[in-house]
Chain A
Amino acid sequence: MLKLESVTKAYGQLRALKEVSLQVDAGEWLSVMGPSGSGKTTLMNLVGCLDTPTSGKVLLDGYDLGTATGRELTRIRRETVGLIFQRFHLIPHLNAVENIMVAQYYHSLPDEREALAALERVGLAERAKHLPHQLSGGEQQRVCVARALINYPKLVLADEPTGNLDEDNEQRVLDFFGQLHAEGTTLIVVTHDPKVAALGERLIVLDHGRIA
């Protein structure tokens, strides 16, 4: 599913990732840990088609991201990757179901019924018409999860998905990840929480741009 071969990413003189090699198989759940500045976000950017490597190769679902144009990266990201953010990033003036439909809109075709079904799956059917500020943090994160999954991505990238949640909501989101994993979705979860990291099949720890 994903293969990094001696990937280096430099920002000027600063090398955020140094000669990183990594392989993630389809259906695998990989946890990524590491202190601040260790290169976790850079790794996510590269895998999520938001950036390209300075050297080395990033292969995602057969595509070489290093040689892809900006437009191609957008297309690969749209069709292959689902993103879950620590801060949810819901559009404040759209309600829950519309936030999900936005992902459909940029992918292919907005379908309210399908978006409502996705909300139902994360237990928020009755909150579909609520604006983000009317939802709790846990509910917002579940909308974010539903949005990430609406286009059936092959790879779900989650950046500190439980970082802003209380214990109950954290558990609900993690249970949901368990379901996705059981269904065969590839998961890469960046976390500071060892308990969350332990749920993955494999854990890598980044330190100063290298896999420790």
Chain B
Amino acid sequence: MARKSPAARKLFRHMLLASLLRRRSRALIAALAVTVGATTLTALASISLDLDAQLSRQLRSYGANLVVTAENGRLSAADVPSFAAALNGAEVAGESSYRYEIAQVRQQGLPVVAIDPQTVFSVRPYWSVLGELPEGNQVLVGRDIAEAMQLSPGATMTLTAMDSPADPAPQSPAPSTAAPVPANEARVQVVGTLSTGGAEDGQLVITQALAAELFGDPGAIDLVEFSVVAGTEDLTVIAERTQAAVGGSQAEPVKRLASAEAKVQNTLNSMLAVVSIVVLALTAITVATTMLALVAERQTEIALKKALGATNGDVRREFLTEGLLLGIIGGLVGTLAGVGLAALVSFQVFGRELTISWPLLPASVLGSVLVAVAAGYPPVRRAASVSPAIVLRGE
């Protein structure tokens, strides 16, 4: 076919570019509409795709989102590496283990939680400590106990080990009513008060080393907490994997956080979807109206071409190619600008670098081209319907 000859292709390209350059302001408006659309949609899609991880990181300040307990009996500190290995590449923002006991102080049984002072803040950043975390023979006293027993930093007391709870509740083990058995004693000094608004306000906090001295059974733990950077669905999978890592263990996502995370994520995603649809519609409308204006301006030229022998298909091809070109230019510029914008937002809002979703980039360019071509189709149909007879009416 003659139209496929190099000379024909060269003339076609020249006609196309010369036509766009002649009406550069309109072409620029159409390309700009596609650019703005592609920028917005790429930025929104990039942020949306990265949102799960970003949100997860932000919500880690509310504490652990994965807890591991023993189905029966207790866990061992030796199990912790197995749990950590089962996380298998997931980003772990924090990890700490706890042991729960009951101790007698001034004839009263009180819940004791033994912690690792080095790691506890990584999963319980919301702990408000007035004073210091305990070391050696020191104790951090929950706010309620401190008030009830009028304990302040510097005070000393004797902790007497009692029987450990048969079925420890991880967050708030109930004081045992079992009769005291002979146990080790330790003279401890109060180094601070703990205020969380939770069960810890009624607990005594000591180190795991002191717990081992007092209660025996070194290495025994009742609870391991992990703060994992993962979305709700991923977290469920991670929990299942972690549980399978050590027999007799039970791993569960913290539902309160997981559901809050999912809720925030769903709300944001819905909002982003609505904004995307609006932007898409605005882009399509701008491209369509600009191309309609282009067709109206070029009515005589179209009629002349048809009078010279151009078929409706020839006319459609020319205008669709123009739409395609505007879509490619706008799509490429817009996609790059969109990634830049998303990176900026990510840095400003979440304070970290954006994880770019590479498949999104060609998808965005392709989407822009499709929108430009689809929006240009009604004007193209109008162009093809121009009657060649108008060139003979002296118009």
Query: Is A142 interfacial (CB 8 A cutoff)?
Result: no
Point out the residues of chain A lying under 8 angstroms from B392, CB to CB.
Answer: 41, 44-45, 48, 50, 83, 85, 159
B308, A94: Cβ atoms closer than 8 Å: no
Point out the residues of chain B lying under 8 angstroms from A34, CB to CB.
Answer: none
B304, A91: Cβ atoms closer than 8 Å: yes
Chain A residue with the shortest CB-CB distance to B304: A89
**Stretch touching chain B among A59-67, A105-113, A120-128:** A105-113
Query: Is B391 interfacial (CB 8 A cutoff)?
Result: yes
Query: Is B120 interfacial (CB 8 A cutoff)?
Result: no
A108, B2: Cβ atoms closer than 8 Å: yes
Contact with A along B299-330 (1 / 0, CB 8 A): 01100111111111010000000000000000
Contact with A along B15-57 (1 / 0, CB 8 A): 1001101100000000000000000000000000000000000
Query: Is A102 interfacial (CB 8 A cutoff)?
Result: yes
With the chains together, A138 CA to B309 CA distance in Å?
Answer: 25
How many residues in B have their beta carbons less than 8 Å from beta carbons of A? 32
Point out the residues of chain B lying under 8 angstroms from A195, CB to CB.
Answer: none
A85, B301: Cβ atoms closer than 8 Å: no
Query: Is B7 interfacial (CB 8 A cutoff)?
Result: yes
A109, B8: Cβ atoms closer than 8 Å: yes
B21, A50: Cβ atoms closer than 8 Å: no
Point out the residues of chain B lying under 8 angstroms from A93, CB to CB.
Answer: 18-19, 21-22
Taking A50-B307, A77-B309, A105-B11 as contacts, is the C-beta distance between A89 and B300 under 8 angstroms? yes
With the chains together, A40 CA to B90 CA distance in Å?
Answer: 82
Point out the residues of chain A lying under 8 angstroms from B19, CB to CB.
Answer: 93
Query: Is B107 interfacial (CB 8 A cutoff)?
Result: no
User: How far in angstroms is the closest Cβ of chain A from B387?
Assistant: 7
Query: Is B256 interfacial (CB 8 A cutoff)?
Result: no
Query: Is A103 interfacial (CB 8 A cutoff)?
Result: yes
User: How far in angstroms is the closest Cβ of chain B from A63?
Assistant: 15
Query: Is B14 interfacial (CB 8 A cutoff)?
Result: yes
A112, B7: Cβ atoms closer than 8 Å: yes
B308, A109: Cβ atoms closer than 8 Å: no
Point out the residues of chain A lying under 8 angstroms from B304, CB to CB.
Answer: 89, 91
B305, A102: Cβ atoms closer than 8 Å: yes
Query: Is A51 interfacial (CB 8 A cutoff)?
Result: yes
With the chains together, A59 CA to B5 CA distance in Å?
Answer: 34
Q: From B15, B22, B311, B393, give the contact of A102 (CB < 8 A).
A: B15
With the chains together, A86 CA to B393 CA distance in Å?
Answer: 9
B18, A45: Cβ atoms closer than 8 Å: no
Taking A85-B392, A89-B391 as contacts, is the C-beta distance between A110 and B7 under 8 angstroms? yes
A: which residues have CB within 8 A of B? 41, 44-45, 48, 50-51, 70-71, 74-75, 77-79, 83, 85-87, 89, 91-94, 98, 101-103, 105-112, 147, 159-160
Would you list the 10 A-B pairs with minimal beta carbon distance, nearest first?
Answer: A78-B309, A106-B309, A93-B18, A109-B2, A93-B22, A50-B389, A89-B304, A108-B2, A106-B310, A110-B7
Could you write out 16 A-B pairs with CB less than 8 Å apart? A50-B307, A50-B388, A74-B306, A78-B309, A83-B391, A89-B300, A89-B304, A92-B22, A98-B15, A102-B11, A105-B8, A106-B305, A107-B308, A110-B11, A112-B7, A159-B392
